[in-house]
Amino acid sequence: MEEYDLIRSRRRTLALEITEDCRIVVRAPNTLSRSRIDAYVERHSAWIKQHLEIQRRRAAARPPAPTEAEVVMLKVKAQEVLPPKIAYWSQKMGVTPTGFRVTTARKRYGSCSGKNSLCFSCFLMSYPDAAIDLVVVHELCHIREKNHGPAFYALLAQYLPDYKERKKLLL
């Protein structure tokens, strides 16, 4: 059995996670015995093996972390590239965001607050234009549809019928 990090909390269920640095993390209720947790991990050994391999491949393909100077350049590029795209797609979609920020978020390329303020990661600038447009349109769709339900994806497909292909560019 693979070694794993155990995080106990007041949760009621067990959960498995394979981190970016290829660690296995098990989240478990405070009261659950170690033997039951071990059995759970053993039952999911095939899933763990598969996802560890995926993470190892991703880690090997991942470029080195950018320097501070590179991050600054990405932020400057985002401040130049994103406003015209936001303006174009906002007008085309008939929505109005209340604001726009650029961050150094690494796990999400964009977000839309409940008050319709948009936020984009500067690391999005490392991707092709088609992928950047996808993230902009995706976040603008959240002004109308706050969740990822069928209506959201119908709206996204209305403006970017090839959104599934564009999404592959982000992986």
Domains of the chain, residue spans:
5-61, 68-168
**Helix 68-93 vs helix 129-144: crossing angle, to nearest 10:** 50
Using the structure block, give the residue that is written with the tokens 């549809």: 145
pTM, entire model: 0.72
The whole-number pLDDT of residue 65 equals 84
Tell me whether residue 132 is exposed, middle or buried, using C-beta atoms within 10 angstroms of its C-beta: 0 to 12, 13 to 18, 19 or more: buried
As a whole number of angstroms, the distance between CA 78 and CA 108 comes to: 15
pLDDT of residue 24: 97
Angle at 49 between CA 44 and CA 52, to 5 degrees: 120
Q: How far apart are alpha carbons 102 and 80 in whole angstroms?
A: 11
Q: What is the DSSP letter of 127?
A: S
Beta strands 117-121 and 110-112, pairing class: antiparallel
Query: Which pair of structure tokens corresponds to residue 16?
Result: 């498995």
pLDDT by residue for the chain (171 residues), tens digit each?
Answer: 889 999 999 999 999 999 988 999 999 999 999 999 999 999 999 999 999 999 998 888 877 888 999 999 999 999 999 999 999 999 999 999 999 999 999 889 999 999 999 999 999 999 999 999 999 999 999 999 999 999 999 999 999 999 999 999 997
CATH code for the domain defined by 68-168: 3.30.2010.10
Answer yes or no: are the C-beta atoms of 52 and 3 closer than 8 Å.
Answer: no
